[in-house]
Amino acid sequence: MWPMLVVLGIVLRMVLKLVYGARGPAPYDTAYLSLNILSWSLLAVGIAPAILFCGMSILGLVLILLAAMAIFEAIVERRAMHRRSTCAILALLVERKAPLEPSLLLEGPYGRGIVSRASRGLLAELRRGAPLSVAVLRHPEALPRAAVAYAAVGAVAGPEVEPLKELAAADDNQLALLRRTCVDRFTYLSSILALLTLVAIFMMIKIIPEYYQIFSEFDLELPSMTLLVISMSAFFVDYLAVPLILMIILAGVTAITVALLYLCDIPILQPLTDRLMRTKLMADVLRMLAVATEQRQSLSVVFDRLAQVYPSALIRRKLQHIASFIAAGDDWRNALRDARFVSDAEYALLMTAGEVQNLPWALRTIARRKERQLVYRWTAAVQVAYPCVILLVGLGVALFSAAMFLPLIKLIEGLA
């Protein structure tokens, strides 16, 4: 029965897409609202028994975990894509002084959600005559996270649209591919480790003590590997079982809480990701400096402004350090090197580019180089760590398998 409900719900969703097209329904379309609620209700009623059935088995729990992580990744990636598209369209509209009306991208399938509401609010602010930097600061959810800083540079350097064009032109394909690879590998390993942890807990508490009792009745001398696993089981039951179960529950609740916060567009893990991706953040700052140098603006003012509005606290501290160096009369390139924004080789490139009046090109080249370095380093780390974790898991499984199988050989030999 329930598969038919799922099929009907999917068919009804497809019909709505075909009938209303890319632009979507008109506001307060009662027919669309009724059919939309009916389709989602059919899907929910049809899927609920399958979820409950899967939740009764370990394999089902793993499948639910995989499905939940896939849905979460799809939602987050969709929002990121929408923000990049909005940034490109906004830069084009402002540059051509076109009417700032909601485009197709803000209406049809993208017309709902946090990003779409923020995008409409941003366009409304611009139509009322607000400066671009102020509108972006009031509605930061509409654009990529770094757009606040790019818009602030535009307010200082002018024209305002140039930094947004720079942000929209930045190629994030390699970084997006890296993120998807890391998420896929992490999802796979998390699922495998969750399944193996549950199996190991069951074996430690139930199987191994019974196993030891059976072989004790035959008065067999157990192999040292089997005795090691038995002692590990006894230690686990006495000291680790309850804390580990509580830690697993706490980890599950924490993961669900973090996922819900991200779905509500509250990046609670942003300080951690900023540290891991600080090279990308530095590349963004270098691109902003490239725009400012093209407009021949005072970089001391640009650094002061960035130190106030940059969305990452880690980079803000570095920018404040650089701004204080420049205020003391030091060259901004020396300040960048002292703050470890650029290496010695990159510093030499900036000095040479300054002599030939080609600083924007040099800054963009260094930014691209830093992004490529980030991709290469993380790719290498994933390629090394992933098989190592798989190997460790395989060694653990081999240890348990050998420890359980060796006594059977002795038992067969004794009976023979």
Tell me whether residue 311 is in a domain. no
| Number of structural domains the chain divides into | 1
Model confidence pLDDT, tens digit, residues 309-331: 888 888 998 899 888 888 888 88
Tell me whether residue 127 is in a domain. no
The gap between the terminal CA atoms of the chain, to the nearest Å, is 55
Q: What would the mean pLDDT of 261-289 be, rounded to a whole number? A: 88
Model confidence pLDDT, tens digit, residues 101-124: 554 444 444 456 788 888 888 888
Please give the model's pTM, rounded to 2 decimal places: 0.78
Q: What would the mean pLDDT of 196-222 be, rounded to a whole number? A: 80
Q: Could you give the CA distance from residue 380 to residue 351 in angstroms, rounded to a whole number?
A: 32
Q: What would the mean pLDDT of 61-80 be, rounded to a whole number? A: 78
Tell me whether residue 276 is in a domain. no
pLDDT of residue 171: 65
Tell me whether residue 38 is in a domain. yes
Question: pLDDT band at residue 415, thresholds of 50, 70 and 90?
Answer: low
Is 6 within 8 Å of 42 (Cβ atoms)? yes
Tell me whether residue 34 is in a domain. yes
The torsion angle over the Cα atoms of residues 176, 181, 183 and 184, rounded to 10 degrees, is 140
pLDDT of residue 28: 64
Tell me whether residue 37 is in a domain. yes
Segments in 264-358 forming alpha helices (H): 270-276, 278-294, 299-309, 313-327, 332-338, 344-355
Model confidence pLDDT, tens digit, residues 369-394: 998 898 899 889 888 988 898 898 88
pLDDT of residue 79: 86
Q: What would the mean pLDDT of 49-68 be, rounded to a whole number? A: 65
Tell me whether residue 185 is in a domain. no
Question: pLDDT band at residue 22, thresholds of 50, 70 and 90?
Answer: low
Model confidence pLDDT, tens digit, residues 226-249: 888 888 888 888 888 888 888 888
DSSP letter at 108 equals T
Burial (Cβ within 10 Å: 0-12, 13-18, ≥19) of residue 82 = buried
Tell me whether residue 21 is in a domain. yes
Model confidence pLDDT, tens digit, residues 171-196: 677 777 888 888 778 878 887 887 78
The H or E element containing residue 91 is: helix 58-96
Domain of 34? Answer: 1-54
